[in-house]
Amino acid sequence: MALIGVLGGMGPLATVDFMRRVVELTHARCDQEHLPMIVANLAHTPDRRRAILGDDIDPLPALLAGIDLLNRCAVDAIAIPCNTVHHWYPQMRAHSAVPVLHIALASVAALPACIRQAAVLATRGTLVSGFYEAALHARGIDPILPSAAVQRDIDASIDAVKAGEIGTGAARLARALAALKRRGVAVAIMACTEIPIAALPLGDTSMMLIDSTLELARAVVVFAAERGWVRAA
């Protein structure tokens, strides 16, 4: 059976959440039918958000070193459960000996065909990079970007989850979603892997929320199933 590489630690809790999703999505009856994964939990990687905004050192050398580590472990595909890091996707994909799945493409593909606009809940770095906007435009979907006030709540929610303060993260996310609903927003992509963790305590938000962690996990399981690496998808 093939081996999936996970370039993780960005952040650590989001990486664990992603692995849980892969396990839950795999139709396995016993340990031996699950999809083998090897995880590089590289939490020391420089801050991706701040680097894109010009406020921190370039994380690309650390990212490429992580790709090299996984390639040396003979993985057959790589998943990265961090959205912002996909700013450097072209360089990582070109550097890797094996396919690197793209979290934004998986997330945008999950939107129903009838959707014409969707909010992007992400780090400021992801928004500045623009890869979600490009993926949405490619499908004929208009991206809705948060106001400055809503973005402050989204940033605070992400930071709270990274600090292990899930309740605070949920409260700030709830406030951001309420403001978006007042603008008439009905669909949003949780385009940061900390945001689905903050959303868990909220229950039904009466808004369609696309979970980027879940969609990347689905993409991994489908990719593996198509190649006969797991029993079923």
> Please, where are the H alpha helices in the chain?
12-25, 48-52, 60-72, 89-95, 103-109, 124-129, 131-138, 148-162, 166-182, 195-199, 212-226
CA distances from 132 to 27, 108, 119, 136 (A): 30, 8, 10, 6
Could you say which of 30, 73, 114, 192 is catalytic? Answer: 192
Distance, in Å, from the CA atom of 37 to the CA atom of 221, rounded to the nearest integer, reads 11
pLDDT at position 233, please? Answer: 45
Residues 150 and 201 in one domain: yes
Within this chain, do residues 83 and 162 fall inside the same structural domain, yes or no? no
Residue 106 in 3-state DSSP? helix
> Residue 93 sits in a domain of what CATH number?
3.40.50.1860
Please give the order of strands across the beta sheet that includes 208-211: 142-144, 117-121, 187-190, 208-211
Residues of the chain with pLDDT under 70: 231-233
Tally of domains within the chain: 2
Identify how many contiguous H helices and E strands the chain contains and give both numbers. 11, 7
Whose tokens are 């603008």? That residue is 183
Range of the domain at 208: 105-212
Please give the model's pTM, rounded to 2 decimal places: 0.96
The verdict on 166 and 204 lying in the same domain is: yes
Q: What pLDDT is attached to residue 203?
A: 87
Q: Are residues 94 and 133 in contact, defined by beta-carbon separation less than 8 angstroms?
A: no
For the question of residue 192 being annotated catalytic, the response is yes
Measured CA to CA in angstroms, residue 26 lies from 15, 33, 222 at distances of 17, 8, 9
20 lies in the same domain as 66 = yes
Domain membership flag for residue 152: yes
Active site annotation includes 73: no
What's residue 32's pLDDT?
92
